[in-house]
Amino acid sequence: MSKSLKKLFIRAKKQVLGEMMGNNPSIFKGEGYDFLELREYAVGDDIRKIDWNISAKLQKPYVKLFREERELNVVVVNLLNSSTYFGSKRFKTEVMGEITATIGLSTIRNRDSFSSFIFADQEYFYQKPIKSSQGLYKTVDEVLKFDPVAKELDPAVVVDTLMKRVKKKSLIFIISDFYTPLDLRYLSKKSEVIAFIVRDKVEESPPQLGFTTLLDSSSGDSLEGDFSSDVVKEYAINRRLFDNSLYESFRKSGIRYKKLYTDQNIPKELIKFFRS
């Protein structure tokens, strides 16, 4: 295991294990769990089912009972096109790997099924359903070492593949910077979809550099541009309009979403998102 991969998993494990010990056995719930009732703890009950918030209020331990505990199918989809090869603090691809690790650890420790995909202009990687950390390490390593330069995203390939290959109703996490439009309406009717938008603050609010030369990660060509005050302000306005349209499309499809930045503590932000 590389040093960067080991460091990433240490951060994710610390946050996930802390949350599981202090609150619930999993940081998220899908539709595999059908809540039935809350009752006072009895000797022999699984302590992982204790609802610590209710227990604290009532001053007695209470457990949550479920009508049926079916296996939750968790699918993580990383969209690694050329625009993800960017980062002022760290690359967006590293953040995407950390999101994958955090979700995967929680899934496996809750004994649920975890699978994953990597897409750009085609499908590059598929991890069949697993319940072991070893398979998760390989998945995250594939994300970290993937070269997205000069690769454009093909939205049709992404959606068509997921519609055909994810046969069971699942909890699907789409991880991308979402600069390329992606129609998730039909997928969200088949499964529960959550979108994680990975961005860098510099790309959203670029500095006023004046006339400068940049490298296009899509083509590898050098581009000359004017980053004056007026240009930067206009760019920021257009970017906000684009994002507002993106959020509206998610809301119409019933998709929950969260924007994450490269300078954030990713496992901590994910825990906050799932708890809310």
Instruction: Return the pLDDT at 22.
Output: 46
Domains of the chain, first to last: 33-69 (no CATH), 73-275 (3.40.50.410)
> In sequence order, what are the residues at sequence separation of 6 or more whose Cβ sits closer than 8 angstroms to the Cβ of residue 154?
119, 120, 121, 122
Biggest alpha carbon–alpha carbon distance for the chain: 72
Going by C-alpha positions, the residue among 152, 171, 7 that lies closest to residue 75 is: 171
Compute CA 276 distance to the chain's CA centroid, rounded to the nearest angstrom: 16
Question: Which whole-number Å values give the CA distances from 147 to 16, 28, 47, 75, in the listed order?
Answer: 28, 30, 44, 22
How high is the pLDDT of residue 31?
46
CA distance 130 to 113: 6
CB contact at 8 A, 171 and 65:
no
Q: Using one digit for the tens of pLDDT, what is the confidence trace for 110-137?
A: 888 999 999 999 999 999 999 888 889 9
In this prediction the pTM is: 0.80
Structure tokens at 180: 């390329």
Q: Residue 14 has what pLDDT?
A: 80
Q: For residues 159 and 176, what is the distance between their CA atoms, to the nearest angstrom?
A: 14
How far is Cα 214 from Cα 207, in angstroms, rounded to an integer?
13
Residues with Cβ within 8 Å of residue 238, at least 6 apart in sequence? none
Q: How crowded is residue 176: how many other Cβ atoms within 10 Å of its Cβ?
A: 23
> At residue 164, what are phi and psi to the nearest 5 degrees?
-85, -40
| Cβ pair 63, 45 in contact under 8 A | yes
To the nearest 10°, the Cα dihedral for 251, 254, 256, 261? Answer: -40
Helices (H), 166-265: 185-190, 201-204, 229-252
Q: Which DSSP helix (H) or strand (E) runs through 271?
A: helix 266-275
Q: Along the 276 residues of the chain, how does pLDDT read in single tens digits?
A: 777 888 888 888 887 766 644 444 455 554 444 555 678 888 777 787 888 888 888 888 988 776 545 678 999 999 999 999 999 989 999 999 999 999 999 898 888 899 999 999 999 999 999 988 888 999 999 999 999 999 999 999 999 999 999 988 899 999 999 999 999 999 999 999 999 999 999 999 888 766 666 666 555 666 666 768 888 889 889 999 999 999 999 999 999 999 999 999 999 899 889 887
Closest CA to 206 of 177, 179, 238: 238
Two tokens at 265?
């503590």
List, for residues 73-108, the tens digit of each pLDDT value: 999 999 999 999 999 989 999 999 999 999 999 898
Length of the chain equals: 276
Contact 210, 270 (CB under 8 A): no
Q: How many CB atoms lie within 10 A of CB 75?
A: 24
The pLDDT value recorded for residue 57 is 83
